[in-house]
């Protein structure tokens, strides 16, 4: 199966074509008939700078309604400013880790923004992701804290047990007074059973590139970057970051001449081939990524690939996930009023196993400080209506269904690869 943009909503189809760099004569009629509000709401802010750039290049002035053009331009400018701040922070972090003799690989957004995009500001990101050798992770965390980074208050109060628990060593760090989050990894997040990925070999293949003026850093090799981007957006995040991450993959495929035969063999050996096939098929079908048909035919997939692609497609257009507070979708989508009430009470109860009274009170205070404004903003933005909430719950269920469809058992029971790549 292939997902044809024509089977998408007009807004999704338009965005795909704009990012794919369709000729202006193809885009113009779509743009004139577009529901721009639905387009921007559905796209999600992470894609707005790229969309802004694409529309400036592709459409005559005046085609995009003034208010929409202003929102896109503001997003592009904000992204540019934040990128400068992140780049400055990255210099400090790399210098500090370098002084401590800790090797570091810059991952994801910061690693690819300068390399794949015409302007790094076109690739918004939430945090700076750094990979260090697992053995050095604790020392590296100490270095970052010595440089002034701290665990954000909202993370400090995470309970020690339960679904929201997070190990102290895995909590992100933040430069106080800035929106800069830094995540330090000893391994790649998607690396879990059953995937067999040799991270040491990835370290050996890593390369040094320029990430800005006078800023050189080690990044994963193009092959490992493709795998990491693909697995992170699909297996780990179930396509919830929308088209931005698929655009990363598309640009990387455009930029490098990959040895697809070697990659297919490696992915099959690692157990990552099913997710990579799904990712690359969507990148090809939606954004025109130059992925050979023979590669897709040679990779194993689940028995019901059509259903997996359809779910992934829905999730790609899942910006409402960013707008409905996750707790609302969790509680209301718990699978029945009893389970929902239990979850809600659990969240409201500040005293949890493993916590003292002081920690519980502190968490309650921080919850009020950080969550209430979020709920108010969601309410004011009209994202707490029944329709938005239903959509957010449905998207969560799609995530679970997608994971089931892509399980190793399903992949193993799927049709054999049509033909080996030669």
Partner 1 sequence: MLYDPPARMKDTRIAPNRIQGVEEAPLQGELMLYDPKTGRFFVLNRTMAFVWSRCDGQRSVSDIAGELLAAFAGVDEARGRADVDQALAELRTLGLTADPEAVTSG
- For partner 1, the binding residues (CB under 8 A) are 56, 73, 76-77, 80-81, 83-85, 87-89, 92, 119-121, 177-178, 212
Q: Which is nearer to partner 1, 121 or 331 (by Cβ)?
A: 121
Q: Quickly list H helices, 127-237.
A: 137-146, 153-156, 199-205, 222-231
Minimum distance, C-beta of residue 82 to partner 1, in the bound complex (Å): 9
Q: Report, in Å, the least distance between residue 61 CB and partner 1.
A: 13
- State in angstroms the smallest separation of the CB of 261 from partner 1: 39
Please report how close the Cβ of residue 84 comes to partner 1 at its closest, in angstroms: 4
Other CB atoms within 10 A of residue 356 CB = 9
- For residue 180, the minimal CB distance to partner 1 (Å) is 11
What CA–CA distance (Å, rounded) separates 40 from 15? Answer: 9
Name the residue nearer to partner 1 (CB basis): 120 or 288: 120
Least CB distance from residue 173 to partner 1, whole Å? 17
Contacts of 320 (CB under 8 A, 6+ apart): 41, 383, 388, 391, 392, 395
Pairs from 258-266 (Cβ < 8 Å, separation ≥ 24): 258/222, 258/223, 258/226, 259/223, 260/292, 260/294, 260/295, 260/421, 261/421, 261/422, 262/223, 263/223, 263/226, 263/227, 263/295, 264/295, 264/298, 264/299, 264/421, 266/223, 266/227
CB 205 within 8 A of CB 224: yes
Helix axes 273-287, 222-231, angle to 10 degrees: 90
**Closer CB to partner 1, residue 29 or residue 148?**
148
In this complex, which beta carbon is closest to partner 1, that of residue 121 or of residue 125?
121
Shortest reach from residue 245's CB to partner 1, in Å:
22
Nearest distance in Å: CB 88, partner 1: 4
DSSP state of 5: G
- Least distance from C-beta 85 to partner 1, angstroms? 5
Between 200 and 214, CB nearer to partner 1: 214
> What are the counts of helices (DSSP H) followed by strands (DSSP E) for the chain?
21, 6
Taking the complex as a whole, the smallest distance from the CB of residue 416 to partner 1 amounts, in Å, to: 49
Which long-range CB contacts under 8 A does 320-324 form with residues at least 24 apart? 320/41, 320/383, 320/388, 320/391, 320/392, 320/395, 321/240, 321/392, 321/395, 322/44, 322/45, 323/378, 323/381, 323/383, 323/388, 323/392, 324/378, 324/383, 324/384, 324/388, 324/389, 324/391, 324/392
Min dist. Cβ of residue 251 to partner 1 (A): 19
Q: Which is nearer to partner 1, 52 or 391 (CB)?
A: 52
Picking from 312, 283, 303, 277, the residue whose alpha carbon sits closest to that of residue 401 is: 312
Nearer to partner 1, 75 or 328 (CB): 75
Cα 221 from chain centroid (whole Å): 19
- Residue nearer to partner 1 on the CB measure, 84 or 368: 84
Q: By C-beta, is 144 or 281 nearer to partner 1?
A: 144
Q: Which is nearer to partner 1, 70 or 81 (CB)?
A: 81
The secondary structure of 81-104 as a DSSP string is HHHHHHHHHHHHHHHHHHHTT---
Of the pair 92, 417, the CB lying nearest partner 1 is at 92
Residues 6+ apart with CB under 8 A from 341: none
């Amino acid at each position: 199966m292939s997902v044809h943009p024509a089977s998408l909503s007009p807004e999704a189809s338009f965005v795909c074509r704009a990012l794919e760099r369709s000729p202006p004569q193809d885009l113009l009629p779509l743009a004139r008939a577009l529901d721009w509000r639905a387009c921007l709401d559905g796209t999600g802010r992470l894609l707005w700078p790229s969309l802004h750039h694409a529309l400036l290049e592709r459409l005559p002035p005046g085609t995009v309604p003034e208010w929409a053009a202003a929102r896109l331009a503001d997003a592009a400018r904000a992204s540019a400013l934040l990128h400068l701040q992140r780049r400055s922070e990255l210099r400090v972090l790399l210098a500090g880790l370098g002084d401590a003799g800790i090797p570091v690989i810059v991952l994801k957004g910061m690693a690819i923004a300068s390399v794949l995009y015409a302007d790094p500001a076109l690739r918004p990101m939430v945090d700076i992701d750094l990979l260090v050798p697992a053995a050095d992770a604790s020392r590296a965390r100490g270095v970052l804290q010595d440089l002034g980074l701290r665990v954000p208050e909202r993370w400090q109060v995470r309970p020690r047990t339960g679904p929201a628990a997070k190990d102290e060593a895995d909590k992100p760090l933040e430069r106080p007074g800035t929106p800069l989050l830094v995540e330090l990894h000893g391994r790649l997040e998607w690396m879990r059973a059953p995937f067999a990925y040799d991270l040491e070999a990835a370290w050996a293949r890593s390369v040094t590139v320029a990430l800005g003026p006078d800023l050189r850093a080690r990044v994963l090799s193009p092959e490992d970057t493709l795998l990491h981007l693909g697995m992170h957006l699909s297996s780990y995040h179930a396509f919830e970051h929308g088209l931005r991450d698929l655009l990363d993959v598309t640009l990387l495929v455009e930029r490098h001449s990959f040895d697809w035969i070697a990659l297919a063999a490696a992915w099959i050996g690692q157990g990552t081939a099913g997710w990579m096939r799904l990712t690359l098929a969507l990148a090809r079908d939606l954004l025109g990524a130059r992925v050979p048909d023979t590669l897709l035919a040679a990779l194993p997939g689940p028995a019901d690939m059509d259903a997996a692609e359809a779910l992934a497609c829905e999730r790609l257009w899942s910006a409402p996930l960013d707008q409905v507070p996750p707790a609302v979708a969790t509680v209301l989508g718990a699978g029945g009023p009893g389970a929902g009430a239990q979850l809600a009470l659990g969240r409201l109860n500040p005293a949890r196993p493993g916590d003292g009274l002081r920690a519980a009170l502190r968490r309650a205070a921080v919850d009020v400080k950080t969550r209430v404004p979020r709920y108010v903003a969601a309410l004011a933005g009209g994202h707490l209506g029944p329709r938005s909430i239903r959509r957010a719950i449905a998207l969560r269920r799609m995530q679970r269904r997608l994971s089931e469809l892509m399980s190793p058992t399903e992949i193993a029971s799927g049709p054999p690869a049509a033909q080996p790549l030669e």
